[in-house]
Amino acid sequence: MVFNETLREYVDSAILDTPINGNLAIDYIIAFIVFLIALALLKVFKFIVLVKLRAIAKNTRNDIDDTILKVIDSFGWTFYIVLSLYIAFQFIVLDPFIEGIMIYVLYIVTGYFLIRAAGIVIDYAAMKILDGNKDNVDNSVVSLIVQISKFSLWIIVALLIISNLGYEISALLTGLGIGGIAIALALQTVLSDVFAYFSIHLDKPFRVGDFIVVGSDAGIVQKIGIKSTRIRTLQGQELVVSNQELTSSRINNYKRMKERRIIFTIGVSHSTPTAKLKKIPGILRKIIESAELTRFDRAHFMRFDSSALIYEVVYYVDTPNYNKYMDIQQEINLGIKEHFEKNGITIPFPTQTVHVAK
């Protein structure tokens, strides 16, 4: 070898041929020189690649090259030192125990830096999802998926390292599978709520701020948690409902209602003349159309009741706001009372007439 011949020109051969732990002194010197050269080459290669990529990144508008820069830069001195040591140790005969430790260290360090690099890619993907979030995906969902992905990476890399070191992992996987089933059974309720949490965010039956009705409960959604959802009811108290219960219930979401269809009835006295009965639909139409945010649909003499003649009225309110609807309905009710009084139309009390035969 060139190294061998060059060294012997400057160093006494007796020293170079001194045996040390199964190797000659010259072997250790060569291994050390190889270590320095490998380390220098790896660092120079990294430096050149980073310089080239930074130059390219300045001329591009996308941030993919910036992510690649972060990935390459994430491989630090520890990785290059361990890799250079591994290359250098190929030039000497190592004790099997030390060689095994070196392989352990190489696998662990390489796995660690690969996970770091993959984590950067996962964070970049999550950032792009949030930036282009047209469906209003909750940040907590993306964050949770990122954490699960990174944790899964650790598990996979750990299993690969164990497998590459010569250990049989089938028994370990079987044990993990049985343990996972046991844990899943023990946490069945909790896991149902967690899956329901994802279902809520993916299907989006409601969002934070929506007014919803679930069964006999109604209120504004305050927070959607992993296990439960918190609703502020109209009475002011906080209602905590499990996510699984929400996804298995029928939910009325009034926040997404574009308009509100209103049906109400009103009765007039049986003694009202037919001419006035014919005018009532027009009067009701005029009252409703004069109110703000309303769209008249119909008004009909619907039926004869025992104590009144019943008209059915249908109109639309162009707002989902309940308080605004009640203001409009109040305005319409007052208008009906006023117009009926002007036209001599009586709204009867519930009465019953009893005829006694002699």
Query: Which is more confident, 29 or 337?
Result: 337
- pLDDT of res. 304: 93
- Say how far residue 277 (Cα) sits from the centre of its chain: 59
Q: Identity (one letter) of the amino acid at 141?
A: V
Predicted pLDDT at 34: 84
Bridge partners of 233? Answer: 219
Provide the pLDDT for residue 170: 66
For the residues of 280-338, what is the DSSP string, one character each?
HHHHHHHHHHHSTTEEEEEEEEEEE-SS-EEEEEEEEES---HHHHHHHHHHHHHHHHH
- Read off the pLDDT of residues 120-134 as tens digits, 9 standing for 90 and up: 888 887 777 666 655
Check if the beta carbon of residue 84 is closer than 8 Å to that of residue 39: yes
Distance between CA 83 and CA 135 in Å, rounded? Answer: 45
CB 330 within 8 A of CB 262: no
The pLDDT of residue 266 is: 94
Residue-wise pLDDT tens digits, 157-205: 777 777 766 666 666 556 556 665 655 555 556 667 777 777 787 778 8
Give the mean pLDDT of 81-106.
Answer: 81
How far apart (Å, rounded) are the C-alpha atoms in residues 144 and 214?
A: 27
User: pTM value?
Assistant: 0.47
Residue 147's pLDDT is 77
Lowest mean pLDDT among 203-212, 285-294, 319-328, 347-356: 347-356
Cα distances (Å, whole numbers) of residue 304 to 15, 280, 309, 311:
123, 15, 5, 9
Domains observed in the chain: 2-179 (no CATH), 197-253 (2.30.30.60), 260-342 (3.30.70.100)
